[in-house]
Amino acid sequence: MIIVLLGYMGSGKSTLGKELATVLKYSFLDIDDYIIEKEKASISDIFKKKGEIYFRKKETEYLKEIISSSKNIVLALGGGTPCYGNNMNALINNPNIKSFYLKLSIPLLAKRLFLERENRPLISHLNTEEDLIEFIGKHLFERSHYYSQAQFTINTDHKTQKEILEDLLVHLI
């Protein structure tokens, strides 16, 4: 089985994915790390040198590679992965996949992301938390249609990592 964690950047997909993989004794894979390895370049460099369209095409290509695996994997997607290249349909139409939307409120996302925005190409240009909140709100409005297609939605606001992990496990039993 492949367990796919999706949601906005900063929602905890990688952190929770590693924990979940450990508990289930699955492999963990972050699609961004997979892309970095395959492309031999950071996500920021790919965006700068080749552009977002190139990145999204490669992201779709590598997602197809990963989900064709018969291994037990916990896969953390990038925030935009479900929204491009028919990726969400590939996920929801695969009987070997269980998908989870990790839903975090805009203020909490902004609080998490503001200090690490330099490492995130899509928000690195935003200089105030207010600008970031506006950006996230607009983005979530555009992306919520895709995120909401996940099999399960886990609201993570004000929950500990342990509580969220328990919520995920309940749906896997």
pLDDT band at 4 (very low <50, low <70, confident <90, very high): very high
DSSP string, the chain: -EEEEE-STTSSHHHHHHHHHHHHT-EEEEHHHHHHHHHTS-HHHHHHHHHHHHHHHHHHHHHHHHHT--S-EEEEPPTTGGGSTTHHHHHHT-TTEEEEEEE--HHHHHHHHHTTGGG-TTTTT--SHHHHHHHHHHHHHHHHHHHTTSSEEEE-TT--HHHHHHHHHHHH-
pTM here is 0.92
* Residue 10 marked as a ligand binder: yes
Q: Is the pLDDT of residue 22 over 90?
A: yes
Q: What domains can be seen in the chain, in order of their start residue?
A: 2-165 (3.40.50.300)
* Residue 112 marked as a ligand binder: no
* Residue 11 marked as a ligand binder: yes
* Residue 120 marked as a ligand binder: yes
pLDDT score, position 52: 87
Q: Is the pLDDT of residue 1 over 80?
A: yes
* Residue 51 marked as a ligand binder: no
List pLDDT tens digits, range 108-137: 999 989 888 877 777 888 888 899 999 999
* Residue 85 marked as a ligand binder: no
* Residue 33 marked as a ligand binder: no
pLDDT band at 90 (very low <50, low <70, confident <90, very high): very high
List pLDDT tens digits, range 64-82: 999 998 899 999 999 999 9
